[in-house]
Amino acid sequence: MAKEIVTLNIEDTCLRLVVVKGKELRLAISQPLEAGLINNGAVVDPQKLGQAIKDTLQKHEVKSTRPMVAISGINAFCRLVPQPPVPRSMLAEAARREAERVMPVDLSELYLSHYVLDRSKVESVMCLVGLSRVAGESTAKALKMAGLTPRVVDIKPLALARAVNEPDGILIDVQEATFDIVLMVDGLPQIVRSLPFSRPGLSLEEKATALAEESDRTVKFYNSCNKDRPIKGGMPMFVSGEIDGQGENRLSQLLGYGFNPLPQPPAPFDGIDTRRYLINVGLASKVMRWAHHDRGINLNVLPEAYFSKGRRTEQVVALSLVPLAVAAIVGVNMLVSRARDETRTFESRLAKTEEVVQTRQAQLAQFLDLEKKASAVDSIAESWEKVLGGLNKDRTNVNERLGQAVVLAGPSIRVSAVDYSVTGSLTIKGTAPAKAEVLSYAQRLRDSGGFAETLVRSVDARPDQGTVEFDLDLKLDLK
């Protein structure tokens, strides 16, 4: 009997529920949420949200308690980190050390997940996702209130990339209160941005303006960090979310790009507007083996404390070895008994001696092989220690530059956001009383000698607030 696959996408303003059973789409609904339950991706009232989820599942007779869940990426940080190949047993420690270097907040504030995207003899690419502990715990509490133990919790932009499954392009998901932008290059999500709109109730034209600015900023930031292989010409664009065909055409006109058609899911999703449920498609593709999906980044950002309890892998392995151990003991006893009988004659003793000699020779060969492997492991460990030493040095230098940039801002400038790229690029956003203050701040950064490049990307006046908003792009000098 075919098993149901239940996917739940939690938006700020609604729940999107899709249930697939076998080759049939059983359910695809969008259930509005009471205003204020979720704000900018953060669960404000876990109890009410949990009850809303529970009521929705009961109303539509969904009995599964193990759904696949997508949550906002606003409260998560996603970074791609190239690194030397390391043994699987060291991946968790390598992920933690890299996260300490590239995450903009302390790891004590995050639940960290990692996934190796590409592996070769020379280099591998690790995807690191740091989910805010506050956001993770409030979401987990709401799901628990609904009686659910999710098999997977994913962030929306990664589910979006998996659903579109294109090697290159700008992916945009537009919702009532938030939007996501994912820049795909060479099959990897190079830049992931999840942001709220400036205020609720924006018109399509106002949303398009915000999307155009952020899309342009995303491409420019990528090019500034990848001057050896910048994006040239138009990138294919894909749009999904709370938008219909007419709105998509209007958005295309306002942005000045032509949107490519979304890839059509298999038969189970026929008859529904794929745009609204594309995140659910990305969730389902984690487990449904569809020919045109390669599954993309397949990790679980659910905090470990909320995983369903089960036997640990080592316990399962140990239990599976018990029958073998018993059989081995019985076999040994039989051999001993037989050996006692055969030792009554000289011929038997000679045969037994030859058998023992052969066994010892095999054991010696195994010992030599283990000794060789141990030597190889020592060499890898020594190489990795050197790499980690360099990484720690870079992290210290980056922290010093970040602190320097904040201190140089002075009392009149308010820094609202600092984004750091592993390529050594730094983006500073904030507000200042006037444009002159911004230019003076930029000059102080240049004069400090700690930054190879300092560029004033934009300065926008806000007359209603009597301030200006600015973006600065810096290139760190880590020598």
Tokens of residue 88, six digits: 């699987």
Nearest one of 168, 154, 187 to 298, comparing CA atoms = 154
Cα dihedral sign for 263, 266, 267, 272? negative
Would you say residue 10 has pLDDT above 60? yes
Domain boundary among 245, 271, 306: 306
pLDDT tens for each residue of 392-417: 666 777 777 778 788 888 888 988 88
- As a whole number, mean pLDDT of residues 22-43 equals 91
What domain count does the chain have?
Answer: 3
| pLDDT given at position 153 | 94
Q: What is the mean pLDDT of the chain?
A: 83
Residues 15 and 143 in one domain: yes
Lowest mean pLDDT among 34-38, 339-343, 355-359: 339-343
Task: Give the separation between CA 380 and CA 402, rounded to whole angstroms.
Answer: 33
Within a domain: residue 460? yes
Residues 162 and 38 in one domain: yes
Residues 75 and 18 in one domain: yes
Contact of 53 with 161, CB cutoff 8 Å: no
For residue 287, the tally of other CB atoms under 10 A from its CB is 15
Exposed/middle/buried for 4, CB within 10 Å: 0-12, 13-18, 19+? middle
Lowest mean pLDDT among 25-34, 269-278, 428-437: 269-278
Lowest mean pLDDT among 243-257, 308-322, 458-472: 308-322
| pLDDT given at position 392 | 67
pLDDT tens for each residue of 225-236: 999 989 876 788
Domain boundary among 331, 358, 383: 383
| pLDDT given at position 406 | 81
Using 50, 70 and 90 to split pLDDT, how confident is the model at 310?
Answer: very low
| pLDDT given at position 76 | 94
Within a domain: residue 345? yes
| pLDDT given at position 465 | 82
Would you say residue 479 has pLDDT above 80? no
pTM of the predicted model as reported, rounded to 2 decimal places: 0.63
Q: How far apart are the first and last CA of the chain?
A: 62
For residue 390, the tally of other CB atoms under 10 A from its CB is 9
| pLDDT given at position 305 | 64
Contact of 49 with 43, CB cutoff 8 Å: yes
Residues 376 and 402 in one domain: no
Name the residue range of residue 452's domain: 398-476
Highest mean pLDDT among 160-164, 200-204, 356-360: 160-164
In terms of phi and psi (left: phi > 0; alpha: psi -120 to 50; beta: otherwise), the region of 127 is beta
Within a domain: residue 411? yes
Q: Enumerate the H helices of 303-453 as residue ranges.
A: 313-342, 346-408, 435-448
Would you say residue 32 has pLDDT above 60? yes
Residues 53 and 161 in one domain: yes
For residue 145, the tally of other CB atoms under 10 A from its CB is 17
pLDDT exceeding 70 applies to what percent of the chain? 84
Q: Enumerate the H helices of 43-111 as residue ranges.
A: 46-59, 91-102
